Structure 1
Amino acid sequence: MSTTSQKPWPPSAIDAASHGAIAFTTIYYEAYDEPTRRSVEIPQFYLPSAKVIWNGNTVAADPASMAAFLDAMPLSRHNPQTLDCHPLKPLPSATATAPELLITITGSVLHGPTVMQYGDHAPTQPSEYPRKYREVFVLRAIESAEGMQPKYAIQSANFRFIG
């Protein structure tokens, strides 16, 4: 039985993964929280074969099914509070040199009509309070040009309310 040791990713790859994760998170939640963009843009983030779990329920990743799922969601406002990113080894058959990324996000999310309220409105109903969530993504590089930040798509996503 032979074993090969995997060289650690160089600091530049770790730095690129971190910057990519921050950019991805910002773009993803901005699109998700904008009702006119959500069902059009979010399905484009996913590979057609992506595995998507939302609070223990499987969601089909094809654009039409994903759009229908997103259209059924109430208004939302995500407030990501922690973000952790790790580059993973590329798939053995992958020709791209960019690593897959494992991104873990925790934060709070508010759902429902109170998202649109501004000012000093104090929540009065439990449904008006934000809920804590944890979301884990595995991103796969789908385009990678020498010296450029790779373009990623979601291979796996798992959203779960916590607490």
Structure 2
Amino acid sequence: MAAVSEKPAPWPSSAIDAASHGAIAFCQIYYEAFDEPTRRSLEIPLFFLPTAKIVWNGNVVKPDAASLTAFLDAFPLSRHDLQTLDCHPLKPLDPAAGGAPELVLTVTGSVLNGPSVMKSGDAPPVEVSEHPRKFREVFVLKPTESAEGMQPKYLIQSSNFRFIG
């Protein structure tokens, strides 16, 4: 007779709430830094673990600071508009270990790239190539440090960005 494995305990609502609040804060900080050209290549590499797996539209990006900075410097101006985000713990917490869980975060939205980012007004004229594009980005976030009673600090273990539609 096969051994019956125990079902992991469901996540308490407090863990789901913490993951959701952390995901919102992460996205706000990450995409604000990405959309600010003076901050992008300085701050975005700090979000990634040195061993991170990064895929952008099917292209592997090396996670070392020099390669990632060169990749980011090649981007045009951008403005991300997030439409949905979903975050949940990836692995069950081991209460004995007392650590924060890894998180999987899925983001969808649109991104405008190019000079039209700087245009203002209700309907500025733009080229078809400058219309916003839909995207989906999936992150795996790994906790790296946590002070007692404080929100853990997360870094990106995996990022997969893809234009959709």
Q: 8 Å contact 1:132–1:161 — kept in the other structure?
A: yes
Aligned to 2:128: 126
* Aligned-partner Cα distance in 1 for 2:30–2:38: 14
Aligned to 1:74: 76
Structure 2 unaligned runs (5+)? Answer: none
* Aligned-partner Cα distance in 2 for 1:90–1:42: 28
CA pair 148-46 structure 1, distance change in 2 beyond 3 A: same
Name the amino acid aligned to 2:157: Q
What SS does the corresponding residue of 1:43 show, helix, strand or coil? helix
Q: Equivalent residues in 2 for 1:98-109 (5 A)?
A: 98-109=100-111
Q: Equivalent residues in 2 for 1:78-157 (5 A)?
A: 78-89=80-91, 97-157=99-159
Aligned to 1:26: 28
Query: How far apart are residue 96 of structure 1 and its match?
Result: 5.6
What SS does the corresponding residue of 2:68 show, helix, strand or coil? helix
Query: How far apart are residue 11 of structure 1 and its match?
Result: 1.2
* Aligned-partner Cα distance in 1 for 2:72–2:98: 31
- TM score, norm. by length of structure 2: 0.91
Aligned to 1:158: 160
Report how many residues are paired: 161
* Aligned-partner Cα distance in 1 for 2:19–2:103: 7
Aligned to 2:57: 55
- Which of 45, 48, 54 matches 1:46? 48
* Aligned-partner Cα distance in 2 for 1:96–1:155: 20
The sequence identity of aligned pairs, in percent, is 70
Name the amino acid aligned to 2:72: L
CA offset digits 1:12-69 (Å, max 9, x no partner)? 1111000000000000000000000000000000000000000000001111111100
- TM score, norm. by length of structure 1: 0.92
For the pair shown, the structure with the greater C-alpha radius of gyration is: 2
